[in-house]
Amino acid sequence: MGIFAKHANKSEYIIIVGCGRLGAHLADTLSDDGKDVLIIDKEEKSFKKLSNAFSGMTMVGDACEMFIRGECNISKATAVIAVTNMDNTNIMAAQIAKEMYSIKNVIARLYDPDRECVYQEFGIKTICPVIMSTDAVCSMLASTDAD
Ligand code: AMP
């Protein structure tokens, strides 16, 4: 039985690209929630951020190259979430997932807010910490003003 055989029995197979602070937290949370999770990072030591309870899979390598080679069972993924520290890598991984494998749920983190709307036009969902944090701060300020 190959390492990916267990996907056959689970309805959601989520690939996370980048096991940094956000990637590791997401992987732990989604895995706890019963999802079949694969997390990829180019550095083996990054997986130390995962909790001991993480029951998903890990793979070391450049995610874009793996996707292009059709590795990691990407064609069976129900979602791909690209959260490395590099906007270009996240966009490339997201575009490969969307264009080559027609994966519906593709999400990329973008540090640069100016690029967010461009990629939304390609059908890629984006999260931009700058915009989200700004919105949160403004709403906290507004609720303080109302006190
Ligand atoms: P952070 O800055 O804490 O969100 O961490 C980002 C993570 O993305 C680090 O663990 C990097 O090793 C990882 N990373 C960067 N580029 C790639 C890539 N091309 N493929 C896989 N992981 C990557």
Give me the residues paired with residue 125 across strands. Answer: 107
Mean pLDDT of 17-40: 97
The answer to whether 14 touches 77, Cβ cutoff 8 Å, is: yes
CB of 86 within 6 A of ligand 1: the answer is: yes
- Stated as kind and residue range, the H or E segment containing 47 is none
Q: Which atom of ligand 1 is nearest to the CA of 89?
A: 19
What pTM did the predictor assign? 0.90
Ligand 1 within 6 A of 65 CB?
no
List pLDDT tens digits, range 92-146: 999 999 999 999 999 999 999 888 777 777 788 999 999 999 999 999 999 877 7
Quick count: other Cβ atoms within 10 Å of Cβ 112? 11
Question: For ligand 1, is residue 74 a contact (CB within 6 Å)?
Answer: no
Of 64, 67, 30, residue with least CA distance to 50: 30
41 alpha carbon – ligand 1 mean position (Å): 6
- 17 ligand 1 Cβ < 6 A: yes
What is the C-alpha separation between 54 and 31, in angstroms, rounded? 6
Q: What is the DSSP string of 3-35?
A: TTGGGGG-S-EEEEE--SHHHHHHHHHHHHTT-
Q: Is the dihedral of CA 126, 131, 137, 143 positive or negative?
A: negative
